[in-house]
Structure 1
Amino acid sequence: MEFIKEFEVRWADVDANRHMRHTAYNDYATQLRVALVMGIGVGNEAIENYEIGSVLFHEDTYFYREVVLCEKIKIDLRIRAMSHDGERWQILHLIFKENGELAAKILVEGAWIDSKRRKLAPPPIALLDKFNELPKTEDFEFLTKNSK
């Protein structure tokens, strides 16, 4: 199962240099993760019922090519790493220009959080099973307690 979504760069995403501002890349990656969670059945109602949410610890963005106003970009989402219980994870976003060139790469590290206890917690099995079906990077690895 692949998870790719296309976006068109909006006026609000462009900076004074007439290319996509740096934080817009992260905004689109966030929107893709929201679409992912909704797409695998963890909509607002499920989040409320499961009493879970997600939290980010770290976000790294690498820029390779300029993206301009009204250009269409495609973002390919892949799981880079995950703990066996699914509590912690790393997600890689590959952002491609219309011509197929890699424009940017974003790696986020995060976890699921129990929204009542405000503590990290593994997701429900139904969610973990769906998360396990997502595409993985070639260098995918399982995270251990000592992993960074």
Structure 2
Amino acid sequence: MTFHVTIQVRCDDIDVNGHVRGPAYLAYADHARWACTQAAGVDPAALTARRLGPVNLETTVRFHRELLPHGEVDVSCVFHWGTGKTSRVTQEFRTPDSTLVAEVASLSGLLDLDRRRLLPDPGAYWRELAARPGLLGLAPKTA
């Protein structure tokens, strides 16, 4: 399932060339991922209470077109789960007319905050915490 959030381009996200600067794309991507997990019903306080923390291990940004000021951008999130300690998230940034302006691909894990180690099968933890795991690309909880 693909999650979408619309983000307003802020004037302080603009560089001297008049387009959105690179770090703003990363902030938009982070915002969209957190909005997705919250829409899935994951309470950030529940993560903290369980001493779990999502960590970003790698991020790649691929720019296609300029994103200009005073507009908005639709940011999608699609989660891809494997069998190890990491997962991937792919995100597309599109203007209101559906023009692809950028893609962000992230490699993430779920950190045990006490042991400072990545947890195996992070999807199982997210599924347990989410009321709507489908938004995170996970099958519903089984009884």
- CA deviations 1:38-91 (Å, max 9, x no partner) are 222322320122211111111000000111111110011112x32236x41000
Q: Does 1:40 align with 2:52?
A: no
- Quickly say closer, same or farther: Cα 1:124–1:75, change in 2 above 3 A: closer
Following the alignment from structure 1 to structure 2, what is the Cα–Cα distance between the partners of residues 61 and 2? 19
- CA deviations 1:7-45 (Å, max 9, x no partner) are 110011000011111111111001111112222232232
Report the TM-score when normalising by structure 1.
0.80
Q: Among the aligned pairs, what percent are the same residue?
A: 24
Aligned partner of 1:29 in structure 2 is 29
Aligned partner of 2:65 in structure 1 is 65
**Alpha-carbon deviation of 1:98?**
1.9
Q: Equivalent residues in 2 for 1:73-112 (5 A)?
A: 73-79=73-79, 81-84=80-83, 87-112=85-110
Aligned CA-pair RMSD: 2.1
Count of paired positions = 134
Q: Which structure shows the higher strand fraction?
A: 1
Aligned partner of 1:134 in structure 2 is 135
Following the alignment from structure 2 to structure 1, what is the Cα–Cα distance between the partners of residues 123 and 6? 29
Instruction: Give the secondary structure class of the aligned counterpart of 2:73.
Output: strand
- Which runs of 5 or more structure 2 residues have no equivalent in the other structure? 138-143
Aligned match for 2:119, one of 118, 121, 131: 121
Letter in 1 for 2:103: K
Report the TM-score when normalising by structure 2.
0.83
Q: Does 1:12 align with 2:30?
A: no
**Alpha-carbon deviation of 1:124?**
7.6
| 1:50 and 1:124 in contact (8 A); partners too | no
| 2:39 and 2:135 in contact (8 A); partners too | no
Letter in 2 for 1:82: W
